[in-house]
Amino acid sequence: MQFAFRSNMLRSAAICGVLLGLMFSASPASAKIVRWSFDDDAADVRLEGTAKHRSLRDMPRLLRSEGRVLSISGGSGYARVSDTGPDSPLDFDNGDAITIEAWVRPGSVKDGQHMHIVSKGRTTYSAGSKFGRDNLNYALRLTGKKGRAALTFLFRDRNSDANSDERFHRWQSNVTFRPNGDWHHVALSYRFGEPESIRGIVDGQISKGSWDLGGPTSAPPVVDDDELWIGSALGGKASSTFHGEIDEVVLHRGLLPESELKRRYPVAASVPEAPLPEHPSDRVLVEIHENAPTERTWNFRWRTPDRIYEQSDLGFVSLPNKYSAKALRVDRTSAFAVRAMTRATLEDGPLELLIRARNGARLWIDNELVLEAPFHKIFGGGHNPIRDVALLDEPGLRQLQTGDNEVLAEYQGDGQEHDIRLELYLGGENRRPELGETGVFVRQAGGQFRLIGHGPTVPLTDAGWMTFASRQNEAIREIDDDRRREVGGEEQLYWADRHDYARDVWSEKERPAVPELPTGYQANNTIDHFIAAKLNEQELKAREVIDDWAFLRRVALDTIGTIPSEEVIAAYFADPAETRRSRLVNRFLDDPGWADHWVGYWQDVLAENPNILKPTLNNTGPFRYWIYESFRDNKPIDRFATELIRMEGSRFGGGPNGFEMASQNDVPMASKAYVVGQAFLGLEMKCARCHDAPFHDLSQRQLFSVAAMLARKSQKVPASSSVAIAADDPNPPSIELSIFPGDKIAPEWPFESFAVEVDDLERLTTSDDTREQLAAYVTSPHNERFAHVIVNRLWARYLGRGFVEPVHDWEAAAPSHPALLDWLTSELIRSGYDQKHVARLILNSATYQREATSDVPEADYEPFYFDGPVRRRMTAEQVVDSIFAVSGKFLKAGEVNFDADSSQAANVFINLGSPGRAWQFASTSNERDRPSLSLPKAEPFVTLLTAFGWRAARQDPANQRETAPNVVQAGQLATGIIGRRFTRLSDDSEFTRLALQAESAEQLTDEYFQRILTRLPTKKERAVVSRVLVDGFETRVKPDAASGSLDRDYPTTGVSWSNHLRSKANTRQQELAMVIAEGDPPSSRLDPEWRAQAEDVLWSLLNSPEFVIVP
């Protein structure tokens, strides 16, 4: 132990082995000082347990930059200092004043835990004390309080009875700090006998506090010769031990002035701790700094950033996500800071600068603070006023969004380049760390505000900001792609090894022989050989191959989830006829839309069920983002299944840990076992939730065994998960019970029929983790069922029906094409479980490219031989996404979020963001049924999606949606809000652009057909539609009209959970709903009469049965 006691009054070699000069000057109020600096050895000080020396790291630079500290890492550890006897300088009695101060760097503090910094007495080495083991002279501690650390002072008075509940007196500070890896300065002053004299200091802030236990007292403290310990008490109990680092512990005999103690904390908040990086001139450098204080303050040091990236502008709607070493989303600290820096030219002359931000923000120019936005001060409760804090109300200017603030300043520009720095504070205690619409804008007198940056000019208009937001979100997705590859390198190598092992296993298996192609059948690849052989065996003919237009529409819907754009159509037909289909398949499989299209499917299969209000109540977290990123990365499907079963990463931020969440459920993991069994093994275990399945060879014990593996412990069967059968029941139910209430079911693999080898478990990263074991059993290359189920799902997705039906229930599995199923399974495994590889084989086959048929057996068990794909209707997501893809309009659906001003934490409200694709929606319902809690911008989408079979709530998994047509579907497309937005020729519509540019009614007819139905009109259709459009065509354009309505967003009402009980909140949301119901404003650049005729054409094409059918 390196110790040095320092005293300007007492020179006692018996007290300390090394004498050093004073670091702090003595004052009249504190005449005697004893100090431990840990840089030098003291002979009379002993280290115990895990206490050791460690080199100084990250101490605030104004204190010192090198040396050693006391480090205690886990378990029990402390430094012992002997008392020299009566009148020791460590003794304090009534009337004596004590000041204790120290620098501390705690690792973490559990709620209710007392980590001792200094404790005299109560060591259990106090046999000679008449107070026994309760002989506490005094102690300074850190106490855990809601994830933070409070300062506490504790002593025992010597007048109280040994058994009295009031013998101990404890004071606790109101000021706290969050243990975040930083050094913190703490101090406490007290004159014994005068309880009102006590005061605490935390990081330079004077703190009031309160007495509890025995309360304030004038009784004298215990004074004896027990030892003083640094870092622990109570015999060194781990729960009483300080885990972290301690330095510069000082005992003053006297009360130090507050001003002197405040100066001990040398952090100058306005000056970054580390040198500022050079500001780039052609881009914006962005740093993310975690572990900011949660008190919403700038009083912290800018340390080495946790993340650095670049972007084009000083504007933010999103930030890159944080990822673990397994490339899974994880949460940042509850409060963090962002620093964005660039060099930019500010025009000569008087300027106005504008900051918009959700939370605290500061703008620095040439290192001078010129503008500061306030911290977030909105609190939940429902009765807060509706905020009206906008400073600007100008035509064409984008509205300030709910929860955001704006501040203005005048600035004199000089036409020169300047260093510009924007600092942002995000989150805070019980606040989601959200950006809102943050940016720094500038304008000249009488001009338009624009975002400062280096990308395309971003005017502060609806169209300008929405375009910027879309562009930034896509850029952030690409940054996240790179980050996952960067941090997940080791995990990637692990899976490459797993896949090499799987290939070795399957290299020993005999592949099915590929049949000869029968005469009269077309084959594009091996798949067609297997299909043709079956058709020939059944004396069936294959259907004709569809034309290029139909193939284009079909494969676009099946891969990217939308009908093709004008650019895709042009590129497709520019390719050589003999290769255009295969090239199109490759193009679509590389498109990010591949990921968008798969999310909705797996949301259903895995029962992803987030709720934006009270998200923990019988819901899951929003692990949709993990699904999306998995398919965006083309993650091998065995890794996908493994990550779901591991349930790691963020719970509310989009990681697979969201799958784990299942409150208000007597056995939550039994529900998860049911989902996993269906999704990856084709096991229908729903009935096994309460009893053995009567129509399946599956027992309740098997389900609970899997549940125990997911729970990582035995599962006790509750009475609510069983069926009571009376022994004397004359008509007992036809079910059996293999387990009973109270039984404890151990975590073990219950399916002996699914082969697994020892080698599978030897490759686990954590061999004793039952979740890891379960994932290995499920995805083992020896377990053919997993790969069979995945291949069958892919086949059913593209051909409309699986080899085995239903895809989630293989109890009576009799594949229609067992050899082809085995061959495709071999392809899946040999490709490294690459779903795109199997999809490419299917999409390029002649079987997939044939005409669709509705002649399908009604019963699942009846075989279907695939003379062509099964005719399908668009999914709900395809309908919505196609409507907006071809019309070119932003969805303008607002945030899927009841807490629009970020006044709550993520475990109370989650924010699913502003959707850009249909899978990003969720239920907008709430049990309060108040207009103020409606989401008028999102609800038309939810209504249309629901009409086409989308499920707003997914309490259970679903593998097949309701696809039958109904009158609600027709009504929504014909008269619903989304249908009207599609047909409305507003200035933001691609159909308006085509109408303005067309040279003839016939050309416009062709273009409308191509964009909406992905084909050219027939001769008759062209003649009919052209007759409608030709009337007034030559005078349709009004050249003097302005496009003033170009892409205006819907109004912002200011309504959120924080003010939803205000009477005006209902009115504002109802008024907004009326505005949305009116639809997009029509373009003034088109003659109204001709525009109405053209909109009738669009209405007819949208409402034709052909639009919602996959060709």
pLDDT at residue 51 in the model: 67
Maximal CA-CA distance, the chain? 113
DSSP H helices, 263-391, are none
pLDDT at residue 666 in the model: 81
pLDDT at residue 319 in the model: 98
Q: Which two structure tokens, joined as six digits, stand for 578?
A: 């003999």
Class of domain 30-262: mainly beta
Contact of 559 with 843, CB cutoff 8 Å: yes
Distance CA 138, CA 121 (A): 7
Q: Is the preceding peptide bond at 718 cis, omega within 30 degrees of 0?
A: no
Least Cα distance to 943 among 969, 982, 916 occurs for 969
Q: Which amino acid is at 562?
A: T
Distance CA 760, CA 758 (A): 5
First vs last Cα of the chain: how many Å apart? 80
Distance CA 510, CA 826 (A): 10
pLDDT at residue 128 in the model: 60
pLDDT at residue 487 in the model: 97
For 678, other C-beta atoms within 10 Å of its C-beta total 25
State the DSSP code for 920.
G
For 145, other C-beta atoms within 10 Å of its C-beta total 16
- Reported pTM: 0.83
Distance CA 1006, CA 987 (A): 21
Q: Which two structure tokens, joined as six digits, stand for 842?
A: 């299917």
Across the 1111 residues of the chain, what is the mean pLDDT of every consecutive 10-residue run?
29 28 36 75 66 58 64 86 90 96 90 95 73 90 91 94 85 89 90 96 92 94 94 92 93 89 61 73 96 85 91 98 97 95 97 97 97 90 91 94 96 96 93 96 95 96 96 98 97 96 94 96 98 97 98 98 97 97 98 98 96 79 97 98 97 96 80 96 87 82 95 91 70 78 94 78 81 95 96 98 96 93 98 98 98 92 94 97 96 96 90 97 85 96 97 92 92 96 96 96 98 98 97 93 72 95 95 95 95 98 96 96
Kindly tell me the sign of the dihedral angle through the C-alpha atoms of 901, 905, 907, 908.
negative
- The β-bridge relationship of strands 322-323 and 329-330 is antiparallel
Distance CA 761, CA 204 (A): 54
pLDDT at residue 102 in the model: 95
Query: Could you tell me which residues come within 8 angstroms of residue 161 by beta carbon, excluding any fewer than 6 positions away?
Result: 167
Query: Could you tell me which residues come within 8 angstroms of residue 259 by beta carbon, excluding any fewer than 6 positions away?
Result: none
At 284, phi and psi to the nearest 5?
A: -110, 125
Least Cα distance to 251 among 58, 52, 3 occurs for 3
pLDDT at residue 66 in the model: 66
Comparing 30-262 with 284-485, is the CATH topology the same?
Answer: yes
Given the candidates 1.10.3470, 1.10.287, 2.60.120, 1.20.120, the CATH classification of the domain at 284-485 is 2.60.120
Query: Could you tell me which residues come within 8 angstroms of residue 752 by beta carbon, excluding any fewer than 6 positions away?
Result: none
Distance CA 29, CA 31 (A): 6
Q: How many residues are listed for the chain in this entry?
A: 1111
State the DSSP code for 91.
-
Residue owning tokens 């693999």: 749
Domain coordinates in residue numbering, the chain: 30-262, 284-485, 624-784, 896-903+915-1110
State the DSSP code for 720.
G
Distance CA 273, CA 292 (A): 13
For 548, other C-beta atoms within 10 Å of its C-beta total 14
Secondary structure of residue 192 in the 3-state scheme: coil
Distance CA 589, CA 587 (A): 6
Contact of 274 with 303, CB cutoff 8 Å: yes
